[in-house]
Amino acid sequence: MNKEQSTLLLISLLILSACAILYELLISTVSTYLLGSSVLHFSITIGLFLSFLGVGSWLSKYLNEPLLPKFIFIELLLGLFGGFSALILYLGNAYFNTYYGLLFSTTALIGTLAGMEIPLLTRMLEKTDSLRSLIAHVLTFDYLGALIASLLFPLLFLPLFGTMRTAFIVGLINWSIAIFNLLFFKNELKKAFSLKVLSVLTGIALAAGFFTSFELMGFADALAYQDNIILTKQTPYQRLVLTQWNDDTRLFLNGNLQFSSVDEYRYHEALVFIPLAIAQKRQMNILILGGGDGLALRDVWKMDAFFTKNNPDHAIDSVDLVDLDKDMVDLARTNPLFTKLNASALDHRKVRCHYTDAFVFVKKNTKRYDVIIIDLPDPTDPALGKLYSREFYTMLRQSIAADGLIITQSTSPFFAREPFWCIHHTLEAVFPRVIPYHVQVPSFGDWGFNVAFANASSQHTLEAINLRLTETISSPFIETRFLTEKNINACFGFDKDTDEIPTPVNTLENMSLVQLYERSYQKFN
């Protein structure tokens, strides 16, 4: 083998190493979309993948000369199975109850095939260089390919193509490497008819999958969601799915229900009306963390209308909305289904949107807010768990006015009793007074909130709060669909099976909340 041939094989190794990492990231991401818990599924996939890379390396010793046709054959198989891996997992999740068995099998097969690549290429190159230089070159190209894949997946492939189409693209890259070597080394492959036939069939299958990936993804989604899917979008941060059945419009993020138009007003009135009714004062500045769908903001403007009518001196001066996903906010601002629900609240002249991580925004913030509304997803992984941590709440306390308050959605005190009270106790570790409450939201069940005050004045006792809420809700100037004089005070009472229990405080170091959350919902799955 000459220098040119060895160089081309090393370049092939660079590309194939990137493909292997891309498959690993793809399988982890699909599993997270389908079952949540990114740490668990990335850990499982990475552990399995590395193990079966070792299995593939061990099995490669049983492959004898000639090695080149065997290498091309492995690339064709890897392209075929890797290209269809996302589809296999999506359909397997819809049809079978043993998803982890399918995850194990897919990861094992792809990992074993990928594990054979480096030993085979090393053996093919062993006559071109000294052992010391050969190992250095092989490992350098291997690690460089891993770096390239790790950058391309979140920055290019996932946001532009989504999981299904990315899988087929990577499969086609594997296939193209096989074709390239089949053509470049054609003089050394005297009897390659079967490989040529397999390469043609593999290319047709992968190309068909790529060009029909939207239809295939739609078919997989139709199996996963009960209602008609009217919109899907892959953003750099999450997969959005909007469904509709009669008058019920639902938004799913990474497979998790975010709201149902049938009853979302119950959640948002509890999240927005109660804290603003407690805090009502002159010229309020409000910060909303999350809430990219604009529904919380809609109720903020309803309360602003109440303040203006009830007391002209009380009004909302400004609202800063912080959401990581600009695509989500743009969709809520322009899609007719969203604008009908949120009353075009995102276009209000007093709103300023910030597209960044809430943790980063709060850390850099120097403005003081009278009310901070936290409308973030549940703490399913550490990336979200940090936004429910003692450290985050400590930073938030520096961002609220001396008589201000913070309200956070706190998951279900029934389905996730330990996580709910963990959030409560974490807030108590930072704020002098924290009051929990909950409401019934049929799509989610019993749902909880915690309101934390910057000071523990007499105005912030439960009795004083109940009195103020009753006065507000009874006003003829306020418009509610759920909250009444009769039910608003009942929100602060807890039953025996949802009442307070001991929990640890959630910190960046222990991430207790994420562990409690996973454990709680496993009981109901």
Q: What pLDDT, in 10s, does the model give residues 35-73?
A: 777 777 888 899 999 999 999 999 999 988 888 889 899
Residue 479 dihedral angles phi and psi, to the nearest 5°: -120, 110
Q: What is the DSSP letter of 132?
A: H
- Residues ≥6 apart with Cβ < 8 Å to 390: 426, 429, 430, 505, 506, 507, 508
Cβ–Cβ under 8 Å, residues 1 and 128 = yes
Residues with catalytic roles: 375
Total residues belonging to the chain: 525
> Nearest to residue 106, comparing CAs of 85, 83, 76?
85
pLDDT attached to residue 478: 86
Secondary structure (DSSP) of 330-342: HHHHH-HHHHHHH
3-state secondary structure 385-398: HHHHCHHHHHHHHC
Q: What is the DSSP letter of 136?
A: H
pLDDT attached to residue 1: 56
CA 427 to chain centre: 24
Question: Of residues 217 and 199, which shows the higher confidence score?
Answer: 199
Q: Both tokens of residue 263?
A: 């009853």
CA 256 to chain centre: 9
Question: Of residues 421 and 470, which shows the higher confidence score?
Answer: 421
426-435 as b/e: b if 16+ CB within 10 A: bbbebbebbb
Q: What 3-state class would DSSP assign to 455?
A: coil
Say which range, 389-393, 421-425, 454-458, has the weakest mean pLDDT: 454-458
Q: Which residue has the tokens 């199996």?
A: 223
Reading phi first (left if > 0) and then psi (alpha if -120 to 50, else beta), residue 407 is in: beta
Residue 257, H or E segment? strand 256-260
End-to-end CA distance of the chain: 57
Q: What 3-state class would DSSP assign to 242?
A: strand
Give the torsion through C-alpha atoms of 20, 99, 156, 320, to 10 deg: -140
Instruction: Please give the Cα distance from 295 to 267 (Å, whole number).
Output: 10
Residue-wise pLDDT for 128-141, tens only, equals 666 778 788 888 88
pLDDT attached to residue 524: 59
CA 256 vs CA 251, 260, 367: distances in Å = 8, 12, 33
Q: Where in the chain is the domain with CATH 3.40.50.150?
A: 263-522
Q: Where in the chain is the domain with CATH 1.20.1250?
A: 3-221
Say whether pLDDT at 186 is over 70: yes
pTM over 0.75: yes
pLDDT band at 286 (very low <50, low <70, confident <90, very high): very high
- Considering the segment(s) 3-221 as one domain, its CATH architecture is Up-down Bundle (1.20)
pLDDT attached to residue 273: 93
Instruction: Please give the Cα distance from 373 to 382 (Å, whole number).
Output: 20
Instruction: Please give the Cα distance from 81 to 78 (Å, whole number).
Output: 5
Q: Which residue has the tokens 């009874």?
A: 474
Say whether pLDDT at 472 is over 80: yes
Q: What 3-state class would DSSP assign to 506?
A: coil
Mean pLDDT of 473-501: 90
CB atoms within 10 A of CB 243: 21
Instruction: Please give the Cα distance from 344 to 294 (Å, whole number).
Output: 8
Cβ–Cβ under 8 Å, residues 503 and 422 = yes
pLDDT attached to residue 281: 75
Say which range, 1-5, 59-63, 285-289, 481-485, has the weakest mean pLDDT: 1-5
Residue-wise pLDDT for 350-393, tens only, equals 999 999 999 999 999 999 999 999 999 999 888 899 999 999 99
CB atoms within 10 A of CB 470: 15
- The mean predicted confidence, pLDDT, of the chain is 89
pLDDT band at 96 (very low <50, low <70, confident <90, very high): confident
Residue 406, H or E segment? strand 400-409
> Nearest to residue 466, comparing CAs of 482, 485, 452, 450?
485
For residue 110, give the amino acid letter. I
Q: What is the DSSP letter of 273?
A: I
> ω into residue 66 within 30 of 0, thus cis?
yes
What homologous superfamily does CATH list for 263-522?
Answer: Vaccinia Virus protein VP39 (3.40.50.150)
Cβ–Cβ under 8 Å, residues 390 and 506 = yes
pLDDT attached to residue 35: 76
pLDDT attached to residue 525: 57
